[in-house]
Amino acid sequence: MSLLQVNQLQVYYGVICALKGISFEVNEGEIVTLIGANGAGKTTTMQSVVGLIPKRSGQVLFDGHDISTTPCHKIVHLGMTQVPEGRRIFQELTVYENLLMGAYSIKDSSGFKQDIESVYTRFPRLAERKNQIAGTLSGGEQQMLAMGRAIMSHPKLLMLDEPSMGLSPLLVDQVFDIIRDINRDGTTILLVEQNAGKSLAISDRAYVLENGSIVLSGTGEELAASEMVQKAYLGG
Amino acid sequence: MELFLSTLINGLSLGGIYAMIALGYTMVYGIAKMLNFAHGDIIMVGGYVIYVFMAFHNPLLAILIAVIFCVLLGMTIEKIAYKPLRGASPLAVLITAIGVSYLLQSLAQIIFGSANKVVTVYDFGSVTFLGVNVQISALVTLAITVVVMVALTLFVKCTRLGRAMIAVSEDKGAAQLMGINVDGIITITFAIGSALAALAGLFYLLKAPSISSTLGAMPGIKAFTAAVIGGIGSIPGAMLGGLLLGMVECISYKITAIAPYTDAIEFSILIIILLVRPTGFLGKKRREKV
């Protein structure tokens, strides 16, 4: 069953057309990746689906709701959240307070202790640094915090925008392992990545975005094997 | 010693008023990223509402109504004048704010006339303390200010709503991804700022029981100066800047040679601070996100 369905989504920045009517879907339990070069429209797709930037036209259905015109904070309450590009953790708050903000949409605070413990188990570094001001964390730790913060809201769909950006190769592997773990624990994942090799390897399905249009789609394996993807994104 | 003590109390009391107004400027700036130049005029509106409802000879009732009226006014101004401009250039918002300021002043003049209105909210009298004659109203002002500041600091630091305000001031997009209603937080910020301005209006009436349509103009600009000196966007900064400016003003008034230049001295401090430390005392350097 499709958890997220995007139909003919168009987004404009002023007169510039950033998304030319793209359609894709994410089924429950899947990891789906959008790959594409800089400026292809990946982040625009992510931000318009979650309601951070306005859609010109098209329809977005999420978990049985039409969220085409729903404001971002209400979409989050429906069970979709995003680890945004550049992490965007709250620099002035502590690690703990950041996680607290992650649980903002959860009205019932009884499960909070358990949730935060499970984040600390998944990301032991965050437990070590829970009272540290988040702005002083390293890039890798900030990515962990951004992911931890996002899963605090129990999303049905977790979107990650370039989670491997700016990280050392060792950390990149770790991030992809964690994404797979989160997925195995029952969260559907929509991933945007420039690191096509690593992301296709963990993806059930993927779409290739070029100049605001989807030009190719298939399973992760199919795309990894396709000549076009190899040439353009895998350096083959 | 006597001079020192009376200057200290008056300075802290005036500084408290400035801090109270500066908090409104700084919180709105921190969260909505706009300079609400109509903020000072809310003080005047608060003063007039107290004046009107003092007809019932119940100061507490008049103050309560003034606070509620100003809160609603602040939220209405935000909704009608500023919200449609979200995303517009900062200059457009600034000009709108100045327009709202003149609108409020003109309305007050139409309704109440241009002559000063006189109203005594409550005469606390004065006490002699260590040989110094101190107005009790100054002490009351100081006490309320301290309580409000402590409460506000705790509110921002320790409540869910307060943390949401910090989150919005830091990154609106990320705050929305937490499920925070940014528009709602902005409205609440305007409400809090306006309530503080209403209290500032009360303090002015306690200091000098006379009110005109321009009552809020100069205090508004002074408090804005205080907010910038302390570091605009920073709550402790607004408190520090307010108290500092209040002290400077009172000390300067006591020195005959420079008393006429008091305003010039205060604004010179602003210029010097901006040259030496553009972010103010407690302001943080922050990357502007594009």
Taking only the tens place, the pLDDT of each residue in B231-288 is: 998 899 999 999 999 999 999 999 999 999 999 999 999 999 999 998 999 887 655 4
What's the complex ipTM?
Answer: 0.93
Taking only the tens place, the pLDDT of each residue in A166-212 is: 899 999 999 999 999 999 999 999 999 988 999 999 999 999 999 99
Of the partner residues B163, B173, B181, the one whose CB lies closest to the CB of residue A101: B163
Phi, psi of A173 (to 5 degrees): -60, -45
In a domain, B6, yes or no: no
The residue in chain A having the minimum alpha-carbon distance to the alpha carbon of residue B179 is: A73
Distance from CA of A54 to the nearest CA of B (A): 12
Q: Are A182 and A158 in contact (CB under 8 A)?
A: yes
* Rounded Cα gap, residues A140 and A31, in angstroms: 22
Q: Are B50 and B62 in contact (CB under 8 A)?
A: yes
In a domain, B156, yes or no: yes
The residue among A90, A67, A95 whose CA lies nearest residue A79 is: A67
* Rounded Cα gap, residues B122 and B184, in angstroms: 36
Per-position b or e across A117-153, b if 16+ CB within 10 A of its CB: eebbebbebbeebbeeebeebeebbbbbbbbbbbbbb
Tell me what pLDDT residue A236 has.
63
The residue among A83, A77, A80 whose CA lies nearest residue A107 is: A77
Tell me what pLDDT residue B285 has.
65
Distances A180 to A175, A185, A204, B225 between C-alpha atoms, Å: 9, 9, 11, 53
Q: Are B28 and B40 in contact (CB under 8 A)?
A: no
Taking only the tens place, the pLDDT of each residue in B68-87 is: 999 999 999 999 999 999 88
**pLDDT surpassing 50 at residue B289:** no
Tell me what pLDDT residue B290 has.
39
* Rounded Cα gap, residues A149 and A83, in angstroms: 8
Q: Are B116 and B50 in contact (CB under 8 A)?
A: no
In a domain, B244, yes or no: no
Taking only the tens place, the pLDDT of each residue in B126-185 is: 888 777 888 899 999 999 999 999 999 999 989 999 999 999 999 999 999 999 999 999
Q: Are A165 and A130 in contact (CB under 8 A)?
A: no
Tell me what pLDDT residue A123 has.
95
Indicate the pairing of strand A31-36 with strand A188-193: parallel
The residue in chain A having the minimum alpha-carbon distance to the alpha carbon of residue B176 is: A73
Q: Are B18 and B219 in contact (CB under 8 A)?
A: yes
In a domain, B65, yes or no: yes
Taking only the tens place, the pLDDT of each residue in A16-45 is: 999 999 999 999 999 999 999 888 999 999
Tell me whether residues B176 and A90 touch, CB distance under 8 A: no
Tell me what the mean pLDDT of segment B52-65 comes to.
95
Taking only the tens place, the pLDDT of each residue in A61-96 is: 999 999 999 999 999 999 999 999 999 999 989 999
Tokens 């708050």 correspond to A93
Q: Are B15 and B240 in contact (CB under 8 A)?
A: no
Q: Are A176 and A199 in contact (CB under 8 A)?
A: yes
In a domain, B257, yes or no: no
Tell me whether residues A93 and B176 touch, CB distance under 8 A: no
Tell me what the mean pLDDT of segment B39-63 comes to.
95
Distance from CA of A224 to the nearest CA of B (A): 31
Best of B157, B165, B170, B177 to substitute, by most chain A Cβ atoms within 10 angstroms, is B177
Taking only the tens place, the pLDDT of each residue in A112-129 is: 999 999 999 999 999 999
The residue in chain A having the minimum alpha-carbon distance to the alpha carbon of residue B87 is: A53
Domain containing B76 equals 15-216
Share of chain A above pLDDT 90, in %: 89
* Rounded Cα gap, residues A58 and B87, in angstroms: 23
Q: For chain B, positions 208-227, list CB contacts with chain A under 8 A.
A: none
* Rounded Cα gap, residues B228 and B26, in angstroms: 8
In a domain, B275, yes or no: no
pTM for the model stands at: 0.90
Distance from CA of A88 to the nearest CA of B (A): 6
- A25: domain CATH number is 3.40.50.300
Report the 10 Å Cβ neighbour count for B272.
11
Tell me what the mean pLDDT of segment A95-104 comes to.
95
Distance from CA of A217 to the nearest CA of B (A): 28
In a domain, B121, yes or no: yes
Tell me what pLDDT residue B117 has.
93
Whether B131 contacts chain A with CB within 8 A: no
Q: How many helices and strands in chain A, by DSSP H and E?
A: 10, 10
Radius of gyration of chain A (CA): 17
Chain B positions in Cβ-Cβ contact with residue A153 (cut-off 8 Å):
178-179
The residue in chain B having the minimum alpha-carbon distance to the alpha carbon of residue A91 is: B170
The residue in chain A having the minimum alpha-carbon distance to the alpha carbon of residue B169 is: A90
Give B216's contacts (C-beta < 8 A, 6+ positions apart): B40, B41, B42, B43, B44, B45, B47, B197, B201
Chain B positions in Cβ-Cβ contact with residue A91 (cut-off 8 Å):
170
Q: How many domains does chain B contain in total?
A: 1
Domain containing A192 equals 2-233
Give B281's contacts (C-beta < 8 A, 6+ positions apart): B229, B230, B231, B237, B240, B241, B273
Chain A positions in Cβ-Cβ contact with residue B181 (cut-off 8 Å):
71, 73
* Rounded Cα gap, residues B240 and B145, in angstroms: 12
Tell me what pLDDT residue B286 has.
58
Of the partner residues A82, A93, A100, the one whose CB lies closest to the CB of residue B177: A82
Distance from CA of B276 to the nearest CA of A (A): 24
Best of A83, A90, A145 to substitute, by most chain B Cβ atoms within 10 angstroms, is A90
Whether B182 contacts chain A with CB within 8 A: yes
Tell me whether residues B177 and A101 touch, CB distance under 8 A: no
- List own/partner pairs for B110-115 with CB under 8 A and 24 or more apart: B111/B48, B112/B48, B112/B51, B112/B213, B114/B212, B114/B213, B115/B212
State the burial class of residue B75 (Cβ atoms within 10 Å of its Cβ: 0-12, 13-18, 19+).
Answer: middle
Maximal C-alpha separation, chain A: 51
Q: How many domains does chain A contain in total?
A: 1
Tell me what pLDDT residue B5 has.
86
Q: How many CA atoms lie within 13 A of B59 on its CB side?
A: 11
Give A51's contacts (C-beta < 8 A, 6+ positions apart): A67, A70, A71, A72, A74, A75, B176
* Rounded Cα gap, residues B236 and B219, in angstroms: 19
**Pairs of residues, one from chain A and one from chain B, whose beta carbons lie less than 8 Å apart:** 66
- List own/partner pairs for A179-187 with CB under 8 A and 24 or more apart: A179/A31, A180/A31, A181/A122, A182/A122, A182/A147, A182/A151, A182/A158, A183/A29, A183/A31, A186/A29, A187/A151, A187/A155, A187/A156, A187/A157, A187/A158
Taking only the tens place, the pLDDT of each residue in B98-143 is: 999 999 999 999 999 999 999 988 888 888 877 788 889 999 999 9
In a domain, B178, yes or no: yes
**pLDDT surpassing 60 at residue A148:** yes
Report the 10 Å Cβ neighbour count for B48.
24
Per the DSSP assignment, residues forming a β-bridge with A218 are: A206
DSSP-derived letter for residue B285 is: P
